[in-house]
Amino acid sequence: MCTFRFKMWWMTQRMGSSGRDIPVETQFLIVEAADCAGDEQSAVYTVFLPILEGSFRAVLQGNENDELEICLESGDPAVESFEGTHLVFVGAGSDPFEVITNAVKAVERHLQTFSHREKKKMPDMLNWFGWCTWDAFYTDVTAEGVKEGLQRCLTYLVYFRQCHAYHMRIILKFHNVFLYFFSSFEKGGTAPKFVIIDDGWQSVSMDPAGSAFVSDNAANFANRLYDIKENHKFQKNGRKGHREEDPANGLAHIVSEIKGKHELKYVYVWHAITGYWGGVRPGADGMEHYQSKMQYPVSSPGVQKNEPCEAFNSIADNGLGLVDPDKVFSFYNELHSYLASAGVDGVKVDVQNILEALGGGHGGRVLLSRKYQQALEASIARNFRDNGIICCMSHNTDNLYSSKRNAVVRASDDFWPRDPASHTIHIASVAYNTVFLGEFMQPDWDMFHSVHPMAEYHAAARAVGGCAIYVR
């Protein structure tokens, strides 16, 4: 069994019985074989972990001769010389889970660039039921919409009461946390204790000469951030084209209101690791000191082979305003300190794998990703004391092997509410990805719809998943 990047942003699993079954961009591989004594009742499990060495990242792939190949990549045309000796860690034993844990801990000791999940502080939001704005509004989210959405959450009790008794017994059997939820529903309706305000709150726009690309989920990948503060939709009495300078009338007013009215414990907001999909606009008023410069990302050949990505192609065509790596801590710190002053408790940091395609001129993908991750973690530590961060679209080893503090990671591609074929694939992916990702961070299985033909299926899966549980 292996986990490989089937998309730019995400891993999924694949099973096989020979070398040719191992796809390009494989980041984790475990092989089962009979032990040397020939005992059919016992097996030896061997794990292969391609790692980072200097400016290079290694992945595995099979070939038609059933051989296992190692593919190295720096992500910078100027970085071609490789003199390292440590490319893949190999460990074996009779317990597959123990073998995986021991292997990751051995790599941790060798690289000293990341920490195992057991050493990280888990944010308390994992212990509470939550609500995310994304599928409810996409980028059309507004302050009023957030308030109305929280009010609608109080009606979900009706649906859960109508669940078939058999499925309810399964859910309650698998995890006591659902017993808590349902008793809470009985007392006061469905009351989320954390909210994620997803994409749509920021001040973004497209360059005059930009080429718009709006995906099915309504994000325009050509947009760039031009101010770290919220847009008019989240300002008190805000109107388009007018900038409210009083912080009390900005994001703070809606955060304070929803926390007070709905007794929320935590409010998180979304941003991309580069600010927005198209980065930070170079020379934007008040943001000149971040020294953002236009770059045009170049995708890894392995990623392109597995799945060409329209979102990535849009960013590549329009370019991305990349904050100077030496200034990125200042960018994160100023953004996060503003959010913290508004009462925000954490952030969902998305689009993280884009950094691997921007390594040209920066010493390569590994060094650029590590510099951004170090700055991000330092800012989170300074501004969000509960280690309030969810890492998203971050399934490359550049990020995983560079994370010392980040403790929560989205475990797979999105929950797709209108794609009937996606649901079993989603659950299989999060479950198998968790075998590897769970050694680094607490996997997040994404939100799901509480009123949906597959709601019970997703609820039961999350009950046994040990993950945060939040709906739309």
What are residue 409's DSSP bridge partners? Answer: 391, 443
Specify whether the CB–CB gap between 124 and 442 falls below 8 A.
Answer: no
pLDDT value at residue 167:
44
Mean pLDDT over residues 455-469, rounded? Answer: 91
Q: Per-residue confidence at 168, pLDDT binned at 50, 70, 90? A: very low
Q: Per-residue confidence at 107, pLDDT binned at 50, 70, 90? A: very high
Among 28-37, 54-63, 317-326, 390-399, which stretch is predicted with the lowest mean pLDDT?
28-37
Mean pLDDT over residues 261-265, rounded? Answer: 95
Return the structure tokens found at 85.
């000796």
pLDDT tens for 46-80 read: 999 999 999 999 999 999 999 999 999 999 999 99
pLDDT tens for 197-229 read: 999 999 999 999 888 887 766 789 999 999 999
Q: Does residue 307 surpass a pLDDT of 60?
A: yes
pLDDT value at residue 155:
56
What does the alpha-carbon distance between residue 194 and residue 350 come to, in Å, rounded to a whole number?
A: 18
What does the alpha-carbon distance between residue 297 and residue 8 come to, in Å, rounded to a whole number?
A: 12
pLDDT value at residue 459:
92
Q: Does residue 173 surpass a pLDDT of 50?
A: no
Opening angle at CA 433, ends 107 and 302, nearest 5: 80
> Scanning the structure block, which residue is given the tokens 């549980």?
469
The average confidence (pLDDT) of the chain is 91
What does the alpha-carbon distance between residue 160 and residue 448 come to, in Å, rounded to a whole number?
A: 14
> Scanning the structure block, which residue is given the tokens 């003199």?
83
> Scanning the structure block, which residue is given the tokens 């699993």?
13
Q: Higher model confidence: residue 367 or residue 35?
A: 367
Sort strands 469-471 and 129-132 into parallel, antiparallel or unpaired: parallel
Domains identified in the chain and CATH numbers = 2-112 (no CATH), 124-154+191-410 (3.20.20)
Q: Does residue 115 surpass a pLDDT of 80?
A: yes
pTM of the predicted protein model: 0.92
Mean pLDDT over residues 272-296, rounded? Answer: 98
pLDDT value at residue 174:
39
Strand, coil or helix: 24: coil
pLDDT value at residue 41:
74
What does the alpha-carbon distance between residue 399 and residue 369 come to, in Å, rounded to a whole number?
A: 6
Among 42-51, 183-192, 229-238, 243-252, which stretch is predicted with the lowest mean pLDDT?
183-192
Burial class (CB in 10 A: 0-12, 13-18, 19+), 71: middle
Among 2-6, 238-242, 367-371, 412-416, which stretch is predicted with the lowest mean pLDDT?
238-242
Handedness of CA 13, 352, 117, 470 (dihedral sign): negative
Mean pLDDT over residues 147-154, rounded? Answer: 81
Run of H or E residues at 114:
none
pLDDT value at residue 209:
87
pLDDT value at residue 431:
96
Q: Does residue 120 surpass a pLDDT of 50?
A: yes
Run of H or E residues at 410:
strand 408-410
Percent of the chain with pLDDT over 70: 91
Q: Per-residue confidence at 179, pLDDT binned at 50, 70, 90? A: very low
What does the alpha-carbon distance between residue 13 and residue 8 come to, in Å, rounded to a whole number?
A: 15
Q: Does residue 335 surpass a pLDDT of 90?
A: yes
Q: Does residue 442 surpass a pLDDT of 90?
A: yes
pLDDT value at residue 172:
41
* Single-letter amino acid, residue 210: G
pLDDT value at residue 213:
82
Q: Per-residue confidence at 40, pLDDT binned at 50, 70, 90? A: low
Strand, coil or helix: 144: helix
